[in-house]
Amino acid sequence: MNNVTNDVEERSRALLEDAHSVGASDIHFIPREDDTLIELRVHGYLYQLAILSRDLAQRIINHFKFLSGMDIGEKRLPQSGAMLALMNQDSVSLRMSTLPTPNRESLVIRLLPQRHDFSIADLSVFDEATERLSALLNYDNGLILISGPTGSGKTTTLYTLLSALQRRYNARIITLEDPIEKKNDAFVQMEVKEKANFTYAEGFKAILRHDPDIIMIGEIRDAETAKVAIRASLTGHLVLSTVHASSAAGTIQRLMELGISRFDLKETLASVIAERLVSIQCPTCGSVCRPDCENRHHPKRTAVFEILAGMPLHNILSSRIPGVRPDYKTIEDYLREGIAKGWIPKASSKGRDESRDSKKLD
């Protein structure tokens, strides 16, 4: 008897972990005449995960009903419940709902990660981008800028890098934003309130008194924020910020227009990242994957990165001749590569800006 109970607990746990590990948003229990089909919804598509016997499926459903506070005896009326589960150190909120069907009860579990932390590997399907972004975690001082047009995903990249730094070094991260875009308990977040005279400059002074390791300035958008970011990186901290610009070179140009000298940029800049979001397809199957394709959980969009650091960055900061072909790979190079590898459909190469209709990701 105990073994059966343990087995149900283990199978329930394994189902949740399988779903969580592939980034599923829902788990569906579909009762059929002879068995129960388990499907996962991942990036909007349904995939078959398992087929369970009627009996085991009902026991697992009862287990979830019990954990989420539903009445186990009630099978003829729809019910809903909720519970919290801890998976791989992520706390995931689970919303459950049951529905009576002619073939027994059906159950849908919605998974809502509490801290929506992407890992760096989730930002782009291109391995080179993941490797080069991960290499940025080795900097312990200087300024890292993330640029892109509105909706390019730069805020997501910014928070993802900060979370990765926090996890890796257990660093004290203090952010200064206007407004705070994503609440995260792992950081100390401050909001600029210009009307109350709590400006970026005031906020920066407050941050320095708070013993930070890493400082995040939400966006460099004028001479004041630019100056604050440069001063913060001159104090020996690692500083991350975003700039509205279309390329790494354009970002440097923009900072100079905001009154930052070439000398200060050379002293402080560790890396400049530019990014775009593009729609992608499976290189083997096209827009919809076959059920057995290894890419079947691929996202609908991915970020393409241009990452300027080291010698190429030094060269661009030293060069006074504009218009020379850069000695690093630009976004356009990566887009061409993505098309050649079959990930990016040809149509989105002609300068169509995929990022425009995806504001919520930025």
Nearer to Zn ion, 82 or 285 (CB): 285
- Closest approach, Cβ 24 to Zn ion, in A, equals 17
Taking phi over 0 as left and psi of -120 to 50 as alpha, with beta for the rest, 148 belongs to: left
Residue that the structure tokens 């109350």 belong to = 196
78: burial class by Cβ within 10 Å (0-12, 13-18, 19+)?
exposed
Nearer to Zn ion, 193 or 300 (CB): 300
Is the distance from CB of 165 to CB of 139 less than 8 angstroms?
no
For 5, the 3-state DSSP assignment is helix
C-alpha 341/C-alpha 320 separation (Å) is: 36
- Closest approach, Cβ 125 to Zn ion, in A, equals 12
Question: 159-176 as b/e, with b when 16 or more CB fall inside 10 Å?
Answer: bbbbbbbbeeeebebbbb
- Closest approach, Cβ 250 to Zn ion, in A, equals 35
- Closest approach, Cβ 118 to Zn ion, in A, equals 22
Nearer to Zn ion, 256 or 282 (CB): 282
Interface contacts to Zn ion, rule CB under 5 A: 282, 284-285, 289, 293, 295
- Closest approach, Cβ 295 to Zn ion, in A, equals 4
Nearer to Zn ion, 270 or 280 (CB): 280
Strand segments, DSSP code E, in the chain are: 26-31, 35-42, 45-53, 79-87, 90-100, 105-113, 142-147, 173-177, 188-191, 214-220, 238-243, 269-279, 301-309
Nearer to Zn ion, 116 or 290 (CB): 290
Amino acid present at 291: P
Nearer to Zn ion, 96 or 125 (CB): 125
- Closest approach, Cβ 276 to Zn ion, in A, equals 23
Amino acid present at 88: N
